[in-house]
Structure 1
Amino acid sequence: MVWVMSYRPVPDSYPGVEVIEGNSGELELEDMTDDGGIGLKMSRSFSGRRAKPESVPKVIRWKSKRKLLDYENACRKTVSDRFRALIEEIEPGVHQFEPIRFVAKDGSLLEERWFWQICNRINSVHPELSNWLLGPRTWRPPPKPRSEGLRMVFDTTAIGGAQFWHDMHIKGTLVSDAAKQRIDAAGTTGVHFDYREQA
């Protein structure tokens, strides 16, 4: 099965944050070769390609009173040490991690964490079984919704052995069923999953 993994704060409150050291703007990618997909000019966190380390924030001020979760998506996707270790167990040596510090309002260190850039970029939507239309770069719903409803199906052959990936033509963090099961079993905090059809 294929799942979309999103950020779900617990409790349901989104923190105030501020980049106080490093880049607060758009990431710069190591490979900007245009392949007809999204995430190369904007939303590069969803590109599926490595970011230049110097373009990653280094220190983020955390303005919330709640504790940091294993997965936070404030400014950038960041993970705790234990979530990083789990990702490496699930799919070793594939993804990019850069050190990032979170500090309190008074500047004291809260946690040493990791910026996480997923480094699988896959054209994973099944074109024959999906009734969306592939535009210049993205999948779009048809002009008039069909009577059977919108249907987007992911192609397991195209996905292959990837465990975490970004699709070339849709925005989102996609994970395999095996990865989701491991994440759930570990009690990872800050994550939420929605099922997607596959064939």
Structure 2
Amino acid sequence: MKAWSGMVWGLLKPKGFGDYWPDGEFSGWDEALKDYYKNEMPDEERAALGLEEHFFPSSVVRKFTMDLGPVKPRECPKEFHAVKAHNKLADLIGTENGVFAVSEVFKFLIEELEPGVHQFWPLKIIMPGGQLYPAPYYGIVIGRFLDSFVPEQCPDGIWLHKKNRSLALSTTKKDFLKMPLSRDVFQGAHLWRENRPNYPLLFLSDELRSRVSRANLRLTPIYQLKSV
């Protein structure tokens, strides 16, 4: 059995639109959310989201990027319409409102390491002219949020700490090497978000990163972080 390395990695957002972050929008999502709110959403869920009197789609969209519990199938977008044609999308792509989608191979790798932790649903990628992107993609909701970030061990000038949030002032590879995460907290996790820092977007274990590399998957830049 492979020894646990204790290394940890952060996934960054690409610069500009392209195969890693296609420009486009979800089709019919707002309308579907409004219909769900009007006809099906339980009263206790409305109260939890602060939607007792008025409906704001953004309140539900937050469930895809924040630790607000499971997302229901009726709340998931079904089609993403890209502005430009793409011949080979990356294996993890960003879409509208920060919702991520993954290829079938990456979905398999994630589920092999963390079965039942994250939510997936089929997401059609529609190219201009109505052409369906030929490979299957799946929307993903990260099901693990951790507090492994150790702000008191951060060097000055790299992070701005405000109450329960930390904002990255630098996004260089050199400075991310100084980003301290507690191995006692993230040990055993393979894919997660952090509650406190606003960046990187996602966090990966060394094991998941190694499997991504061996499978030659295309992901946005991944920087090594500091384990403490």
Cα distance in 2, alignment partners of residues 107 and 113 from structure 1: 16
Mean Cα deviation higher: 175-184 or 44-53: 44-53
User: Does residue 74 of structure 1 match 2:95?
Assistant: yes
From the two aligned structures, give the one with the greater strand fraction: 1
Cα displacement (A) at 1:117:
0.9
Cα displacement (A) at 1:83:
1.1
From the two aligned structures, give the one with the greater helix fraction: 2
User: Does residue 117 of structure 1 match 2:136?
Assistant: no
Question: Where does residue 126 of structure 1 map in the other structure?
Answer: 150
Secondary structure of 2:210's aligned partner: helix
> Among 20, 23, 26, which residue is 2:27 paired with?
20
Q: Which runs of 5+ in 2 are unaligned?
A: 1-6, 38-44, 50-58, 170-174
> Retained in 2: the 8 A contact 1:21–1:60?
no
> Among 60, 65, 75, which residue is 1:46 paired with?
65
Mean Cα deviation higher: 58-67 or 43-52: 43-52
> Retained in 2: the 8 A contact 1:98–1:116?
yes
Cα distance in 2, alignment partners of residues 19 and 133 from structure 1: 33
Q: Deviations over 1:53-100 (max 9, x none)?
A: 322211111222222221110222001111111111122221010111
Identity %: 24
Cα distance in 1, alignment partners of residues 126 and 61 from structure 2: 28
TM-score (norm: length of structure 2): 0.67
Task: Read off the aligned partner of 1:53 and give its amino acid letter.
Answer: P
Structure of higher CA gyration radius: 2
Structure 1 pair 162–113 and aligned structure 2 pair: CA distance change class (3 A): same
User: Does residue 56 of structure 1 match 2:76?
Assistant: yes
Question: Where does residue 5 of structure 1 map in the other structure?
Answer: 11
Task: Read off the aligned partner of 1:84 and give its amino acid letter.
Answer: K
> Retained in 2: the 8 A contact 1:5–1:193?
yes
| RMSD over aligned Cα atoms | 3.3
Cα displacement (A) at 1:128:
4.6
Structure 1 pair 97–141 and aligned structure 2 pair: CA distance change class (3 A): closer
User: Does residue 157 of structure 1 match 2:163?
Assistant: no
Q: Which runs of 5+ in 1 are unaligned?
A: 34-39, 143-148
Secondary structure of 2:100's aligned partner: strand
Cα displacement (A) at 1:121:
0.9
Cα distance in 2, alignment partners of residues 85 and 139 from structure 1: 32
Cα distance in 1, alignment partners of residues 65 and 72 from structure 2: 14
> Retained in 2: the 8 A contact 1:17–1:62?
yes
Cα distance in 2, alignment partners of residues 141 and 116 from structure 1: 24
Q: How many pairs align?
A: 183
Cα displacement (A) at 1:130:
3.1
> Retained in 2: the 8 A contact 1:2–1:175?
yes
Cα distance in 1, alignment partners of residues 193 and 187 from structure 2: 13
Cα displacement (A) at 1:182:
0.9
Cα displacement (A) at 1:113:
1.4
Cα displacement (A) at 1:106:
1.7
